[in-house]
Amino acid sequence: MRYFKVVGYIFVTLFVSSGLGTAHAASTEEETGKWLATIRAIKPEGGRDSTDRYNKQLDDAWKFFTANKATVLPILRRELSAELRKEHPNQMLLLDIGYFIRLQEDRSDKDLGRQAFFAIDSSAEVVRWNGQQLFQFAHAVVPDKDPRTLPALDRVFLRGNVTAFIPQHALSLDETLVCVFLYGVYGQGAEGHLRSRLADRSVAQRVIEILIWIGSPESVPEVTAAMMASREYEIFARGTAFMMSAGGPKGRTTLLSLPIESFDAKSQQYFGRVRRDIEATTYEVLQRQFKSFPNPGRVSDAELKTRLSAMYRNYGKDDTTNPQAFLASGLPNAYLVAELSRIRGRMFFRVSDEALSDVKLTNALLNALYYKQQ
């Protein structure tokens, strides 16, 4: 009899527990459906109050999704897949749920999120209203190097006016810096693609601004052609900044050989002010900018290779190596330039002001190496 009671108790307990589990799953699905309906209903209304209200709704939805991920993810996958099959999918659902799915660890989720990103209509008002999330979604997808990526970046960001604010770093990204992070995180191939866009005068100014951050002496001919095609100050000033920060000695020589008298008056005045500095730029001058860094001791070539590998793994972070160690290294310049350029691309994975500072320092070091190897 005692045995019967125990078994009976277990049976009742399992029955009740199973019922509660089913009820909980049903409740979670119902709650998920409510949040999805809320997301679908979001409209691009003006005013701070409505924006704050929608932001709180989206934050609360993500908190619920994250807290109940095991139950919610299958529902979100199902709903997003169904939305992608529609002739006119809800753009806010693609943007918000697509991004949430993309951030999950499973490869299939990342693939589904990528499908959602490329299905987004960037001209839709609700998407333009959520430019920050569009940027973050793009930044998550770009490293896949899907064949559609660079054309999409050109259409949505290079030609658009998407800005973003990164609250955890209190970092505001203007239209150019948004592009810098996106083309930068794409890595190898982005510079060549952007060079091919310099013939289009409608985007040439922004392209040069991006190349100041991610370019190299390989882009000198195309930047020169853009300067000659325009001969106006806005392009000339940006072209000069590119030549002197990323163009190496080839950029300096090109600047000094330009027919400056054929440019507009403002360009000529500007060139008159900076010409002496351009002429005075040498490897020795560029080397001196690193004299103030601590720990100037020489690093062995083997140790420097180890540190370069660590920098790549750590997305460009390095708090110990003085830039002078690279300039004093016995390693081939071409090797150092290739490794530092590769590491620079990894820095753009970190959307922060610290990452931008690291890129600036790396670009200064690369430019010095260009002059050293002449």
User: Could you list the pLDDT tens digit for every one of the 374 residues in the chain?
Assistant: 333 223 332 333 333 344 445 555 568 889 999 999 999 999 887 667 777 788 888 999 999 999 999 999 999 999 999 999 999 999 999 999 999 999 999 999 999 999 999 999 999 999 999 999 999 999 999 999 999 999 999 999 999 999 999 988 889 999 999 999 999 999 999 999 999 999 999 999 999 999 999 999 999 999 999 999 999 999 999 999 999 999 999 999 999 999 999 999 999 999 999 999 999 999 999 999 998 887 666 889 999 999 999 999 999 999 889 999 999 999 999 999 999 999 999 999 999 999 999 999 999 999 999 999 76
| Residue finishing a domain among 144, 163, 186 | 186
pTM above threshold 0.75: yes
The predicted pLDDT at position 297 comes to: 64
Q: Are residues 175 and 210 in the same domain?
A: no
Q: Are residues 35 and 131 in the same domain?
A: yes
Q: Are residues 100 and 215 in the same domain?
A: no
Instruction: For residue 215, give the DSSP letter.
Output: -
d(CA 141, CA 185): 10
Residue 350 structural domain: 301-372
| Residue finishing a domain among 166, 186, 206 | 186
d(CA 92, CA 43): 9
Beta-carbon contacts of 274 under 8 Å, excluding residues fewer than 6 positions away, are 240
The predicted pLDDT at position 374 comes to: 64
Q: Are residues 168 and 236 in the same domain?
A: no
Judge whether 308 lies within some domain. Answer: yes
Judge whether 235 lies within some domain. Answer: yes
d(CA 293, CA 310): 20
Q: Are residues 90 and 176 in the same domain?
A: yes
Q: Are residues 83 and 175 in the same domain?
A: yes
Please provide residue 202's backbone torsions phi and psi, each rounded to the nearest 5 degrees. -70, -20
Judge whether 104 lies within some domain. Answer: yes
Nearest to residue 348, comparing CAs of 99, 182, 194, 175? 182
Residue with tokens 């529902």: 75
Please provide residue 232's backbone torsions phi and psi, each rounded to the nearest 5 degrees. -115, 160
Judge whether 15 lies within some domain. Answer: no
Q: Are residues 182 and 36 in the same domain?
A: yes
Cα 343 to its chain centre, rounded Å, is 14
Instruction: For residue 187, give the DSSP letter.
Output: -
Q: Are residues 230 and 349 in the same domain?
A: no
Beta-carbon contacts of 204 under 8 Å, excluding residues fewer than 6 positions away, are 197, 198, 226, 229, 230, 235
Q: If residue 164 lies in a helix (H) or strand (E), which one and from where to where?
A: strand 164-166
The predicted pLDDT at position 77 comes to: 97
The predicted pLDDT at position 25 comes to: 58
| Residue finishing a domain among 252, 281, 310 | 281
Retrieve residue 271's tokens.
């060139």
d(CA 348, CA 184): 6
d(CA 109, CA 74): 10
The predicted pLDDT at position 51 comes to: 74
d(CA 250, CA 255): 9
Instruction: For residue 144, give the DSSP letter.
Output: G
d(CA 251, CA 44): 46
Retrieve residue 353's tokens.
């002001």
Judge whether 86 lies within some domain. Answer: yes
Judge whether 13 lies within some domain. Answer: no
Retrieve residue 235's tokens.
């392009």
Domain count along the chain = 3
First-to-final CA distance of the chain: 96
Q: Are residues 158 and 213 in the same domain?
A: no
Beta-carbon contacts of 187 under 8 Å, excluding residues fewer than 6 positions away, are 143, 145, 342, 345, 346
Q: Are residues 67 and 153 in the same domain?
A: yes
d(CA 194, CA 204): 9
Q: Are residues 181 and 208 in the same domain?
A: no
d(CA 115, CA 67): 25
Judge whether 328 lies within some domain. Answer: yes
The predicted pLDDT at position 293 comes to: 84
Q: Are residues 177 and 31 in the same domain?
A: yes
User: What letter represents residue 15's amino acid?
Assistant: F
Judge whether 35 lies within some domain. Answer: yes
